[in-house]
Amino acid sequence: MEFRTFVEAGRVALIDKGRNYGKLVVIVDILDQNKCLVDGPCTGVKRQLMPYKHLQLTTIKIPVKRASKTSIVKRHFENEKVAETFASSAWGKKLEVRNKRAALSDYDRFKVMVLRKKRSSLLSKEFKSLKKAEA
């Protein structure tokens, strides 16, 4: 298995710590072994230095050169449809489900519990009837 996601200019990353948690950014320049310059013009993240420990690299890469202007990064971000690509990936879908569940009210969680119990009951009845028919 080869490693394919390198820290490089144009690599799209997901912020996993801090106040911009869950937002997509593009790595614009590499400062040193601990920090890089990121920019997220379409996600509301201003150009700033960020440690690698706060980023999760994705497989998405856009064709920008080192130290590109924000307008160029924004143009490529929109043309490549990075947000839609990430949202349609398994990782994006998992984050969407997690956010949806976190936003549920007590009553919604109760309804989910009741439906899961009902589904489990139906499955166990069907399994028992199949097992009985087999014997």
* Cα distances (angstroms) measured from residue 98 to each of 22, 93, 103: 11, 9, 9
Q: What is the mean pLDDT of the chain?
A: 95
With bands split at pLDDT 50, 70 and 90, how would you rate the model's confidence at 86? very high
How much is the pTM? Answer: 0.79
Q: Which CATH architecture has domain 1-103?
A: Roll (2.30)
Q: Is the pLDDT of residue 135 over 80?
A: no
Q: Is the pLDDT of residue 3 over 90?
A: no
Q: Is the pLDDT of residue 4 over 90?
A: no
Q: Which pLDDT score is estimated for 69?
A: 96
